[in-house]
Structure 1
C-alpha cells in the first residue's frame, strides 16, 4: 500500500477538498486525485463521493479513515526515529554495563523527558566508530582514538570523564582483605583481562599501564563473557581483574567478590566522546555539561600519555 496515497486520502477526508489537501501536501490536485484513485483500485472500493462543496467519505471511506490515520502516524514516527535532528539522540557505548552507560542512565533518570537511544556498535577498532559518527549513523561515540591526528576533519574528540580502576578479587585471594591498594601492591599478581582486542583503545591502555607500573596483565584465552570471568574470580586464589569504578557488575552473593579501589596514584581509564565537528545533535550539549558535574579524580592520578586533556568548558565543544 502506497503510504503517500494513504496520506493524501487522510488529508482529503479531513479537509473536504482535494485542492486543499494538495496545497498542504505540496503537490497538484491531479496528483492527489491519482493517488486516491490508485488506492481505491487497490482496495476495490469507492472512498469518496464528489459534492458541490468538495468530497465526502463513503461508508467504506469512513471505515478506512481511523486505520489510515494510524498508518500515517506510524510512518511519521518511523521517519522521526531515523532522521538526524529529529530522532532521538543516539550514542554508542562500549557495553550496557560500562561506565558510559551508567553515566548516561543517571543523566536520563534526572532528565526523564530526554529522547535518548543508547546503542553498542560492537566494534573493537575505534576508527569504525569514528566512521559511524562521520556518516551520521550515531550522533556520538564513547571511544578514544589514541592518535588524534588520525581523526578525519569531519569529527572531533573531547574528554568526557575519567573512570578510576578497581581490582576485583575472590575471597581467597591474598589481597581480598585490603580496603585500598597501590599499584606497587599489584605487582607479581596475575591480573586477567580477557578480550583485549588488537587495535582497540584498551589494548593501548593496558600496554602502557603494564609498562609504567610493571604489572602482569594477562589477556590469554577467549572472553566468554562477564559471568564466566566473575565465576573464575570467585573460585580462584590467585586471579584478579580490573574494572572501572562506575562499571556495573552483578554476581551471586556466595561469590563474595571484592572491589578494591587503587590509590597513590589512582589509575584512571580516560573516556572520550567522538562527535561531529560541526552541527552536533542539539541534545549533546546538556549531556556534555553533565560530565562536568561528575566527581573529579584525585590529583594523584595516572592517566595514559595519549589521554585527551580534561577541559572545564567541554560543553562549548558541543556548540560548534
Structure 2
C-alpha cells in the first residue's frame, strides 16, 4: 500500500479540501486526486463523497480513517528510527572489559540523560570483517585497526581514537612481582603469554612487531579458556606473565595477589582506531572522537607499532587523525 496515498487521504479527510491537502503536502491537487483514486481501487471502496464545500469521507472512508492514521504514524516512526541522530549509536568493541568499552562508558556518562548507545561485539578477529560491517551499516563504527591501507574499503575511513599504555600482569611468585616499573629490556628473559592471538588480527601484527623490536618471548601456546582462566594461571605461576592495557578492566579474587606493573623506558602503547563511514556518519561519532581527544596523551618516550595509518597524539595536539 502506498503510504503517500494513505497520507493524502488522511489530510484530505481532516481538512475537507483536496486543494488544502495538496498545499500542505507540497504537491498538486491533481496528484492528490490520483493518489486517492488509486487507493480506492486498491481497497475496493469509495472513500470520499463530493460536497459543495469539498469532500467528506464515506461510511467506508470513516471506517478506514483511524487505521490510515495508524499507517501514517507508523511510517513516520519508521523513518525517524533511522534518521541520523534519531537512533542509538551502534558501536563494536573487542570486549566489554576492554579499554574501548571503559572509555566508551565514560563518554556515555557525559551525555544527556536518555542518550541511547548500543554496544556490541562482532566476535571477529579479522578487522576486514569489522570494516565490512561498517560499510554495510550493521554497525555505525568499530574499534578496529586495518593495518594494511589497501584492505580498507574506499567508503570506510579509520580515525585514531586513543593509545593504550601496556602493563605487565604477574602473579605474586613471579620474579618481577615486586617491581614498581619494568623496562622492555627486563622482560627479555621472561615468557609473556598472550593466549588467543588470532592469525591475521591486528593484535597478532602488534605482538610480532613488539617481539622483534625488543627481543621478547611472546607466545600464544595452548587454548584460550577466557580471562578468568588466564588470571588463575598467572596466580599459580612463578614464570608466566602477560601484557594488559592500562585501562582494561580485570577483576580477580584477592587471594590471587596479582600485580599490574607499568612498562617504561619506553612506554609500550597499543594504538586503537575507530572504523567509520566516510560519508554520513552517525552524528554522535564527532562527539565521541572529541571525547577521546581529551584522553591523557602519551609521553615522549613511547614505542608504537609502525602502522602508517595511525598518528599518535602528543601533548598539546588535540583531535583525531
**1:15 aligned onto 2:19:** no
Local SS of the residue matching 1:28: helix
Question: What residue ranges of structure 1 are gaps of 5+ in the alignment?
Answer: 42-47
Distance 1:77 1:223, change over 3 A: farther
Specify the alignment match of 1:28 in structure 2: 32
Contact 1:191 1:239 in 2 (8 A): yes
After superposition, what is the alpha-carbon deviation per residue over 1:56-76, rounded to whole angstroms, capped at 9, x for unaligned? 899xx89x95x9978866665
Pair 1:69–1:99, CA change in 2 (3 A): farther
DSSP 3-state at the match of 1:112: coil
Following the alignment from structure 1 to structure 2, what is the Cα–Cα distance between the partners of residues 78 and 253?
A: 50
**Partner secondary structure for residue 109 of structure 2:** helix
Q: Deviations over 1:196-253 (max 9, x none)?
A: 1111000000111111112121211222222222222223222221111111222233
**Conserved? CA contact 1:9–1:36, under 8 Å:** no
SS, match of residue 314 in structure 1: coil
The separation in 2 between residues aligned to 1:239 and 1:14, in whole angstroms, is 77
**2:226 counterpart residue number:** 225
Separation in 2, partners of 1:118, 1:244: 20
How big is each residue's C-alpha offset from its partner over 1:133-157, in whole Å with a ceiling of 9 and x where there is no partner?
A: 2333333222112122433332222
Per-residue CA deviations over 1:22-71 (Å, capped at 9, x if unaligned) read 86497735655876998899xxxxxx99897866899xx89x95x99788
Shift of 1:95: 1.6
Which structure 2 segments of 5+ residues have no match?
none
TM-fit CA distance, 1:298: 1.4
Match of 2:103 in 1: 103
Cα distance in 1 for partners of 2:41, 2:257 equals 71
Q: What secondary structure sits across from 1:267 in the alignment?
A: strand
Residues 250-275 of structure 1: per-residue CA shift (max 9 Å, x gap): 22333222211111111100111222
How far is 1:296 from its partner?
Answer: 0.9
**What is the Cα-based RMSD across aligned positions, in Å?**
3.7
Q: Is the 8 A contact 1:178 1:260 kept in 2?
A: yes
Structure 1 counterpart SS, 2:244: strand
Please name the residue that 1:204 is paired with.
Answer: 205
Q: Give the CA deviation at 1:83.
A: 4.8
Corresponding residue of 1:118: 119
Change beyond 3 A, Cα 1:75–1:227: farther
- CA contact under 8 A between 2:182 and 2:263: conserved in structure 1? yes
Q: Which moved more, 1:196-205 or 1:167-176?
A: 167-176
The two structures have a TM-score, normalised by structure 1, of 0.78
Please say which structure displays the higher CA radius of gyration.
2
Change (3 A) 1:36 1:177: farther
Comparing 163-172 with 153-162, greater Cα deviation is found at: 153-162
Task: Tell me: CA distance 1:255–1:117, structure 2 relative to 1, closer, same or farther (3 Å).
Answer: same
SS of structure 2 residue aligned to 1:173: coil
Larger CA deviation: 198-207 vs 145-154: 145-154
Deviations 1:84-117 (A, max 9, x none): 5643333222122111111111111112354433
Change (3 A) 1:107 1:175: same
Segment drifting more, 186-195 vs 8-17 = 8-17
Return closer, same or farther for 1:305/1:16 CA change in 2, 3 Å cut-off. Answer: same
- Work out the CA distance in 1 between the residues paired with 2:56 and 2:138: 43
TM-score (structure 2 length as normaliser): 0.78
Contact 1:134 1:155 in 2 (8 A): yes
